[in-house]
């Protein structure tokens, strides 16, 4: 779930939130999409991916939703969004600036971070090492 609703009670979730595997609407006023931050693995042809929530404006959310099941959705321009997931092993990731790129039907959007000096943005640009992936796995496992 987006970080902003993680503390909601079951009653609040039922009353205030519409949540699917890909989309979330809170209070009919806050709109989120689930996408992938992809980090190239240094020295390999593979990527490491974080699945994350990003908030969108109502206009962008409904523009994307209107084309959700249409092949033409890949033609949408990237949409500005705010990072809405707190990732373990990084400095605060909430509200990082992003661009959301829709992809083919059935493939989650690609989340492009603003090119800043934030560690996650640096890893998206320059890559992540296998050692760092193992470190993140230990952090995630210890948080579970």
Domain count, the chain: 1
Q: Is the pLDDT of residue 144 over 80?
A: no
**Rounded to two decimals, what is the model's pTM?**
0.93
Task: Return mean pLDDT, the chain.
Answer: 96
Give me the domain span that covers residue 83: 3-143
CA 63 to chain centre: 18
Average of per-residue pLDDT across 24-28: 96
Taking the alpha carbons of 50, 53, 54, 60 in that order, is the dihedral positive or negative?
Answer: positive
pLDDT confidence band for 1 (50 / 70 / 90): confident
pLDDT average, residue stretch 121-136? 97
Please check whether residue 46 is in contact with residue 119, taking contact to mean a CB–CB distance below 8 angstroms.
Answer: no
Q: Which residues contact 15 (CB under 8 A, 6 or more apart)?
A: none
CA dihedral over 54, 1, 128, 120, signed as positive or negative: positive
Over residues 65-92, the pLDDT tens digits come to: 999 999 999 999 999 999 999 999 999 9
Taking only the tens place, the pLDDT of each residue in 54-65 is: 999 999 999 999
pLDDT at 142 over 90: no
**Tokens 């190239």 map to which residue?**
40
In the prediction, which pLDDT does 49 show?
97
pLDDT in tens, 8-19: 999 999 999 999
Q: For residues 21 and 109, is the Cβ–Cβ distance under 8 A? A: no
């Amino acid at each position: 779930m987006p970080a902003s609703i993680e503390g909601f009670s079951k009653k609040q979730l039922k009353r205030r939130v519409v949540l699917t595997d890909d989309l979330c609407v809170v209070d009919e006023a806050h709109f989120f999409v689930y996408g992938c931050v992809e980090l190239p693995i240094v020295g390999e042809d593979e990527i490491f991916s974080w699945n994350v929530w990003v908030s969108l404006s109502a206009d962008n959310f409904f523009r994307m939703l209107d084309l959700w099941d249409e092949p033409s959705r890949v033609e949408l321009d990237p949409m500005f969004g705010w990072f809405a997931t707190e990732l373990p092993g990084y400095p605060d990731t909430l509200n990082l600036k992003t661009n959301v790129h829709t992809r083919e039907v059935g493939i989650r959007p690609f989340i492009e971070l603003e090119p800043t000096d934030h560690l996650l943005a640096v890893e998206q640009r320059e890559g992540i090492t296998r050692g760092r992936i193992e470190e993140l796995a230990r952090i995630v496992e210890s948080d579970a």
